[in-house]
Amino acid sequence: MGAPHGHHLHWHGHSPIHRLPAHVKLVSLLAFVVTVVATPREAYWAFAAYLLLMLGVWVASRVPLGYLARRMVVEVPFVVFALLIPFVATGPRVDVGPLSLSEPGLLAAWGILAKATLGVMASLALATTTEPRDIVAGLEHLRLPALMVGILTFMLRYLDVVVGELERMRIARESRGFRATSVRQWPAIAATTGALFIRSYERGERVHLAMLSRGYGGRMPLLHETSTPASAWARGLALPAAALLVLVAAVVLR
Amino acid sequence: MSFPVLDVQGLAYAYPDGHQALFGVNLHVHQGERVALLGPNGAGKTTLVLHLNGILTAGKGAVAVSGLPVTKDNLLEIRRRVGIVFQDPDDQLFMPTVRDDVAFGPANLGLRGAELDARVASALEAVGMADFADRPPHHLSFGQRRRVAVATVLAMEPEILVLDEPSSNLDPASRRELADILRSLDVTVLMVTHDLPYALELCERAVILSDGVIVADGPTRDILLDEETMRAHRLELPFGFNPATLPER
């Protein structure tokens, strides 16, 4: 929130990754993540291979690596969770300096950390190279139910409007001397939230009226009928295909 | 004999909570006219507008658009014929891009492909927003959004354009640009407004709706100069504005 227009992940560019159709990227992301998650965590070299593949995608997207790396902080809660496991898990223990750690716990932590990191890297590659509305269009193309596509579309469209309203209400509140410094002021914030809900609800009704007025009959018209060239699929699926090869090798060589 | 574009006869309506908003409204608008609908807050203007395309259903009386009665069976055709531009463009523009939003109406009418693209292009052209087709609506200025809102309705090729407070929240330049656009359109207009100079500038005829009935109907200039009627219905000219001193149109 607060970032202009809520597009704070997208990095404008024209790399081959940017140009891939969103639905191809979505399928590619899903296939890659499933492959990574299916990989046995003892196959350490496989994860190194995935990491190389993913770094290759990052470089190909021409999004500055620092920009991507900073956005990896979204993973921190998982990291904390993973770091706790060796302390609380049971089983045979190893001593690392003054600490006594659980061996299965260490392995579990490694698995979570490696898989989550690769998943976040892949998601970032999608998010930085694809406009939010293209992602929604991609989901629509992949036959996500129309109702859910509708909800996502409206959320994207009205997020800024609602945030703007919230901001104006905050300014109006503070202009009358309000400062949220103690718990006693929470009721005012709760009232703001309630007012915002009512306003958004009423706006929803007005939007619906405006839609009806333009002949809306309960079904969004399909405006974009695009065909995807096989070459786009081939390029887009190269990443999960390579990952799958790694997985097969990891399983066979075990 | 040709039908009036808009034919409202004895229209009465009470909201489900019992509040009666309209008490027998009679209004005819003919092809090519631009009519201002004036009235104080709470006069029933919005309620009347919502009857014109069948969002609300008449309690008593009838509405017809170019001879076609507003009934459940005709709703889609009625909504094509009556294009309503709502006051807040953020309510009207809900699609991810300007182009998609303008395409929404004609697509609901069944248009597809090249025909749809042509409609969108000409509607955006008419409001001078052709260069903004691929922009998300929330990246536009308020005046631009209002113009796109007009285009979303023009794309349905309506027989009458109904504008709810078209000049509200616009800066003077945007207000004038919108007036230029509205004048350039070859379409019948019904304009709900509190902006009396705007009504005089754009509409040769004005009607006053007050307490759910039409209380005055005539040339805009005469209506605005009728001090007694104006005062009786809480209408006031802005400071320093005197229609009598303006040259005849």
Quote the pLDDT of residue B96. Answer: 85
Q: What amino acid occupies position B9?
A: Q
Could you tell me which residues come within 8 angstroms of residue A23 by beta carbon, excluding any fewer than 6 positions away?
Answer: A137, A138, A139, A141, A142, A228
Nearest chain B residue to A212 by CA: give it.
Answer: B55
Quote the pLDDT of residue B249. Answer: 62
A96 to chain B, any CB pair closer than 8 A? The answer is: no
Q: Does residue B1 lie within any of the structural domains?
A: no
B47 to chain A, any CB pair closer than 8 A? The answer is: no
Quote the pLDDT of residue A227. Answer: 80
Which residues of chain A make contact with B104, given a CB cutoff of 8 A?
A: 211, 214, 216, 221, 223
> What's the gap in Å between the CA of B133 and the closest CA on chain A?
14
- If you write DSSP's letter for every residue of A81-130 in order, what string do you get? HHHHHHHH--SSEEEETTEEEEHHHHHHHHHHHHHHHHHHHHHHHHHHHS
Quote the pLDDT of residue B99. Answer: 94
Of A137, A158, A221, Cβ closest to residue B104: A221
Nearest chain A residue to B75 by CA: give it.
Answer: A215
**Sign of CA pseudo-dihedral B147, B149, B155, B156:** negative
Q: Does residue B203 lie within any of the structural domains?
A: yes
**Sign of CA pseudo-dihedral B102, B104, B109, B115:** positive
A217 to chain B, any CB pair closer than 8 A? The answer is: yes
Mean pLDDT across chain B, nearest whole number?
Answer: 94
Which residues of chain A make contact with B91, given a CB cutoff of 8 A?
A: 203, 206-207, 209-210
CB atoms within 10 A of CB A230: 8
Kindly give the parts of chain A with pLDDT less than 70. 1-8
Quote the pLDDT of residue B101. Answer: 93
Task: Report pLDDT digits (tens) over B150-189.
Answer: 999 999 999 999 999 999 999 999 999 999 999 999 999 9
Residue B7 falls in which region: left (phi positive, over 0), alpha (psi -120 to 50) or beta: beta
Of A5, A158, A223, Cβ closest to residue B139: A5
| Residue B3: closest CA among B37, B32, B29, B36 | B29
d(CA A245, CA A251): 10
Q: In 3-state terms, what secondary structure has residue A249?
A: helix
Q: Do B94 and A221 count as a contact with CB atoms less than 8 A apart?
A: no
Which residues of chain A make contact with B92, given a CB cutoff of 8 A?
A: 207, 210
Quote the pLDDT of residue A217. Answer: 85
Place of tokens 């998300």: B136
d(CA B79, CA B77): 5
- What is the side-by-side strand order in the sheet with B34-38? B82-85, B160-164, B188-192, B34-38, B205-210, B213-219
| Residue A134: closest CA among A13, A16, A19 | A19
Strands of chain B (E only): list them.
6-14, 20-29, 34-38, 60-65, 68-69, 82-85, 160-164, 188-192, 205-210, 213-219
Q: Do A214 and B153 count as a contact with CB atoms less than 8 A apart?
A: yes
Stretch 97-136 of chain A: residues touching chain B, C-beta under 8 Å = 133, 136
Q: Do A160 and B138 count as a contact with CB atoms less than 8 A apart?
A: yes
Of A157, A160, A211, Cβ closest to residue B96: A157
Place of tokens 């593949």: A53
Q: Do B91 and A209 count as a contact with CB atoms less than 8 A apart?
A: yes
Q: Compute φ and ψ for B32, nearest 5 degrees.
A: 85, -5
Residue B36 Cα distances to B33, B62, B201, B223, angstroms: 10, 21, 10, 11
Could you tell me which residues come within 8 angstroms of residue B10 by beta carbon, excluding any fewer than 6 positions away?
Answer: B24, B25, B26, B60, B61, B62
Could you tell me which residues come within 8 angstroms of residue B67 by beta carbon, excluding any fewer than 6 positions away?
Answer: B3, B7
| Residue A118: closest CA among A47, A66, A222, A170 | A47
> What's the gap in Å between the CA of A30 and the closest CA on chain B?
25
Could you tell me which residues come within 8 angstroms of residue A232 by beta carbon, excluding any fewer than 6 positions away?
Answer: A20, A21, A24
Quote the pLDDT of residue A4. Answer: 43
Task: Report pLDDT digits (tens) over A90-128.
Answer: 888 888 888 888 889 999 999 999 999 999 999 999 999
Q: Does residue B24 lie within any of the structural domains?
A: yes
d(CA B165, CA B180): 16
Q: Do B100 and A154 count as a contact with CB atoms less than 8 A apart?
A: no
Residue B214 belongs to domain with CATH number: 3.40.50.300
Chain CA centroid to CA A110, Å: 22
Residue A52 Cα distances to A20, A87, A113, B164, angstroms: 21, 30, 16, 59
- Kindly state the tokens that stand for B52: 């014109």
Torsion of CA A60, A65, A67, A70, to 10 degrees: 130
Q: Do A154 and B80 count as a contact with CB atoms less than 8 A apart?
A: no
| Residue B7: closest CA among B66, B93, B83 | B66
Stretch 65-124 of chain B: residues touching chain A, C-beta under 8 Å = 76, 79-80, 82-84, 86, 88, 90-92, 94-97, 100, 103-105, 107-109, 116
The interaxial angle of helices A132-141 and A22-38, nearest 10 deg, is 80
Place of tokens 């159709």: A21
Q: Classify residue B2 by its DSSP letter.
A: P
Which residues of chain B make contact with A137, given a CB cutoff of 8 A?
A: 96
Task: Report the residue count for chain B.
Answer: 249
Q: Does residue B221 lie within any of the structural domains?
A: yes
Quote the pLDDT of residue B151. Answer: 96
Place of tokens 């090249």: B114
Kindly give the parts of chain B with pLDDT less than 70. 1, 248-249
Task: Report pLDDT digits (tens) over B41-63.
Answer: 989 999 999 999 999 999 999 99
Which residues of chain A make contact with B82, given a CB cutoff of 8 A?
A: 213
Which residue range is the domain that position B40 belongs to? 6-245
A216 to chain B, any CB pair closer than 8 A? The answer is: yes
Percent of chain B's residues with pLDDT above 70: 99
Q: How many domains does chain B have?
A: 1
Q: H helices within chain A, ranges in order?
A: 16-19, 22-38, 44-61, 65-70, 76-88, 103-129, 132-141, 146-175, 186-213, 230-236, 238-253
